Structure 1
Amino acid sequence: MENADTDTFLITGGCGYFGYRLACSLHKKGAKIILFDIVPANQEVPEDMVFVQGDIRDYTQVEKAITGVDCVFHIASYGMSGREQLNRHLIEEVNVQGTHNILKACVEHGVSRLVFTSTFNVVFGGQVIENGDESLPYLPLHLHPDHYSRTKSLAEMAVLKANGTVLKGGSGVLTTCALRPAGIYGPGEQRHLPRIVGYIEKGIFRFVYGKPISLVEFVHVDNLVSAHELAAEALTPERQHCSAGQAYFISDGKPVNNFEFFRPLIEGLGYPFPRLRLPISLIYFLAFLTEMIHHLISPFYNFQPLLTRTEVYKTGVTHYFSIAKAKVELRYEPHEYNLDEIVQWFRSKGHGKKHHSSFLSRLLLGSLFVAAFVAVALSFLLVAGN
């Protein structure tokens, strides 16, 4: 990254997996880094990397952290997966109000560059998309199947609308852009991969769903780091602010079936790849029932759903996007990666084939059959009612 040694970067969510990876990459290039997060990093932070503990929902804390910063990477968000997706109030506070706080602080304190980490989901809501590009319209807000996707869409709109806002004191304008990454993977990823490995080791991962030809995308964490660095660079005068006001899809550029993508991880840990394939409609219905149950009992027991409806769509319905715009305007060139390093990482942590819990397996399969029976019964009642 050009001129990194003269810049100070604030990274919201900087102690998370991707945020810290980005911080370390910039730090190696000589940049000054401020990590802004609600919790400290779970690994040792270099002495000259500043950690500011704070919450983006609190404008005073944001304002304190952003003073003297040249560029903000706004990564912090809430509600991406699992039971977090069902906490509407917190999702809206973090993703929408938190983003407005960041934008306001940038304008008030003369920060001229903001790179926002968005998501594929701003245009995707369960419909098939093949090689889509940035000309696709935002999915209408009422069609989003989850609060995370809806609020990230609102946040991205606000970020791109703020592009060109005059900074306080007339010291220039705020330039912004948004990156829409695919599912992130890499060694040490803590959100999705441990959950998948947990399902494998408990014997729950005994089936796949959707069509074998359905395709989705992923992005290695280091490719995503590169894309963010390039996006920030493309907001500078040296690059004619060419990314200002723009959104970019970011992935490895290799559409793949979701379950086939994870085959090397499953087999690398010594487990057989599932042969049972179930219809996506059944899994979606099971996810719907699970969400309803969670809504009823979460005040007493906030359990982790096996899958949410959004996760079923994201893993079982074809949606992949062109990265041509990012290649041309950001000069983004993704490197090739495989899951070998991830398999080795999990093995180094003591993971690998163990005896399954047959009870959990039977319970899951039993739940699927119950869900199927209920679905058939409801269909019959609806037909009879007509």
Structure 2
Amino acid sequence: MAIVDDLINPRGTKRTCVVAGRLLLVSFNSVIGSFVSPIRLTPLQLDTDSNHGDSVLRDALASGRASYCQVDVRDPSQVIKAVEGSSVVFYMEATDLPKHDFYDCYMIVVQGAKNVINACRECKVRQLIYNSSADIIFDGSRDICNRDESFPCHWKFADMLSDLKAQAESLVLYANNIGGLLTCALRPSNVFGPGDTQLVPFLVNLARSGWAKFIIGSGDNMSDFTYAENVTHAHICAAKALDSQMISVAGKAFFITNLEPMKFWEFVSLILEGLGYQRPSIKVPARIVCYALLVVKWMHEKLGSRKYNLDISARFFHLASCTRTFNCSAAQKYIGYSPVVSLEDGIRLTIESFSHLAKDSSFGRFLNFEGQSKAEKLLGSGKVSDICLWRDEKKTFTCFVALVLLFYWFLLSGKTFASSTANLLLLVTTILYGYANLPPKISSFNIPKISLSWFEISENSVQDTIMSIVYLWNSGLHTIRSLAQGEDWNKFFQVVLFLYVVKWILVESFAVAIGFALVFAFTAFFVYEQYESEIDGLTRMLFSLTKGLLTSYLPASMTSFLQNKGVLRKENGKVVNEAAGR
């Protein structure tokens, strides 16, 4: 145990306190310069680098100013031994919980809270401050906007851990003023900082797997974040307030944030960019992600797989798609809390502490992510590119639905092309005529009239269309001339492959081919843009595997002929495909 200089009781004497929790422990050292003993399930590991919190704690342990004991909170006798002789206990569960095992989590969180409470009573501890979470009032189905402590806990939770923490908080608050023990609970929101084992590592894993490119939902949802050092400061404020304002603080819970709500995806972007990863830029509807998670969860349940835990992914989905902001006026008023580290400084310090997870500077820090992708260049970087690459979800979805309807109207309805065109023109004419005869105002809704300019085609558009046709015609003539001269074998193989595909389409089914092309246009380019490097690498690997097969079955005379034409070349005594190499 160790004496904490900053915590002084009303009589002016120093008190000994116990801290349970690695993240909270390291932050205590950087705030108050004093040292405490953790209650932990896993051994304490101190970094050997220049981390300030670890270096101060290492010195304190070496000098005897602090003591450390590894305690299993499921064992009442170990907990009693750990808190004996202290006057204040700061309790926060371990972050490395076995989330796939409900029994173990329950024993650590809920039963562990019971054991800590009983140990505090038996050892005559005066104060117990529990580090809860703002997640306990969030059910994952609706936004929370600037809610204070009066917002009730509906006992519907987004994940198992929030459920267990709500039970533990209730036990701690219910134990207030029983046996002389004063209790309170703090509810920090989205804690981050050096030593974080959840949020930042999860974001880095997403970035490395390529999924961090996506923004779930609109990207406008707001969130409150709390730097770890501010959580520590709030605990110290709560301990002092339990002496000076016992009636207003004891038995109460308080929200703790950095008082600087910001867009969740802006926070993610700052963290990832600071570590050299790409800023999220592609918006995906939240419902699609939700359905995908449900499918994955169903598959895991059917397969009986317990290897992968989906709780973290589900929690991140709720954080990423919902607004969660909290009112900290009660903490400011009754425990005197205010952040000691701004959100900007907290993000900077967090990025510095996770420098070992940063992307290689030669690739990540200097790469221009605003450049055009290969898919965008292939599509011409115009309106077609924006639609096929889902730059605007509403516009893309509208175009897709319209093309599907036209596909059904002309190819799947069983009518001839002429009759389908006539029926479509008749339908459009009827709609336009009916719309033109509508009154200018129906009830309180004004009916805008269609201007004749909507149907006009500008001279520039006609010229551009004609120029495009001329360009295609001349390109075709140039291709035919190249084939006739027999000089470009690469183009020859491309034309042969194209004609073979056209022949296959005409022989099999034109409607099936058009349907396949429609789905391909709205999915293939989008997928290729997201996994460009992976697909290019796979393509190169397939070329390297097949080029030997393409040449091993060719006669020697054909091989010699293709070498003379530049289609094949020798490389280290082996014949390789020159066209593939290009």
TM, length-normalised to structure 1:
0.81
The answer on 1:254 being equivalent to 2:260 is yes
Greater share of helix = 2
Structure 2 unaligned regions, length at least 5: 1-5, 47-53, 365-526, 536-582
Deviation at 1:277, TM superposition (A): 0.6
1:34–1:266 Cα change, 3 Å? closer
Match of 1:76 among 93, 118, 122: 93
The answer on 1:190 being equivalent to 2:193 is no
Match of 1:161 among 174, 185, 205: 174
Tell me which residue corresponds to 2:330: 325
Tell me which residue corresponds to 2:143: 128
TM, length-normalised to structure 2:
0.55
Q: Secondary structure of the residue that 2:262 maps to in structure 1?
A: coil
Deviation at 1:21, TM superposition (A): 1.8
Give yes or no for contact 2:132–2:187 (8 Å, CA) kept in 1.
yes
Give yes or no for contact 1:207–1:274 (8 Å, CA) kept in 2.
yes
Deviation at 1:214, TM superposition (A): 1.1
Tell me which residue corresponds to 2:276: 270
How far, CA to CA, are the matches of 1:263 and 1:314 in structure 2? 14
Structure 1 unaligned regions, length at least 5: 167-172, 367-386
* Counterpart amino acid of residue 278 in structure 2: P
Q: Secondary structure of the residue that 2:105 maps to in structure 1?
A: helix
How far, CA to CA, are the matches of 2:353 and 2:359 in structure 1? 9
Cα distance per residue 1:57-97 (max 9 Å; x no partner): 111111111111111111014677xxx44421122111111
* Counterpart amino acid of residue 161 in structure 2: Y
* Counterpart amino acid of residue 319 in structure 2: K
Tell me which residue corresponds to 1:376: none
The answer on 1:53 being equivalent to 2:70 is yes
Cα distance per residue 1:332-363 (max 9 Å; x no partner): 1113132223333333565445769x99x659
Give yes or no for contact 2:276–2:358 (8 Å, CA) kept in 1.
no
How much identity, in percent, do the aligned residues show? 25
Moved more, 189-198 or 212-221: 189-198
Deviation at 1:3, TM superposition (A): 1.4
Bigger Cα Rg: 2
How far, CA to CA, are the matches of 1:205 and 1:258 in structure 2? 13
Tell me which residue corresponds to 1:374: none
Q: Secondary structure of the residue that 2:168 maps to in structure 1?
A: helix
Give yes or no for contact 2:7–2:239 (8 Å, CA) kept in 1.
no
1:20–1:271 Cα change, 3 Å? closer
The answer on 1:224 being equivalent to 2:239 is no
1:253–1:350 Cα change, 3 Å? closer
Give yes or no for contact 2:133–2:188 (8 Å, CA) kept in 1.
yes
1:296–1:99 Cα change, 3 Å? farther
Match of 1:35 among 35, 38, 41: 38
Q: Secondary structure of the residue that 1:20 maps to in structure 2?
A: helix
Deviation at 1:331, TM superposition (A): 0.8
The answer on 1:347 being equivalent to 2:351 is no
Q: Which has the higher contact order (CA 8 A, sep 6+)?
A: 1
Deviation at 1:99, TM superposition (A): 0.3
1:349–1:77 Cα change, 3 Å? closer
Give yes or no for contact 1:78–1:90 (8 Å, CA) kept in 2.
no
Give yes or no for contact 1:201–1:353 (8 Å, CA) kept in 2.
no
How far, CA to CA, are the matches of 1:350 and 1:278 in structure 2? 26
How far, CA to CA, are the matches of 1:316 and 1:353 in structure 2? 31
1:105–1:295 Cα change, 3 Å? farther
Deviation at 1:158, TM superposition (A): 0.8
Between Structure 1 and Structure 2, how many residues are aligned? 345
Tell me which residue corresponds to 1:204: 211
Moved more, 101-110 or 328-337: 328-337
Moved more, 148-157 or 86-95: 86-95
Q: CA RMSD in A?
A: 2.8
Cα distance per residue 1:9-56 (max 9 Å; x no partner): 11122xx22333225544x14xx5222212222116322211111111
Tell me which residue corresponds to 2:293: 287
Tell me which residue corresponds to 1:235: 242
How far, CA to CA, are the matches of 1:58 and 1:351 in structure 2? 42
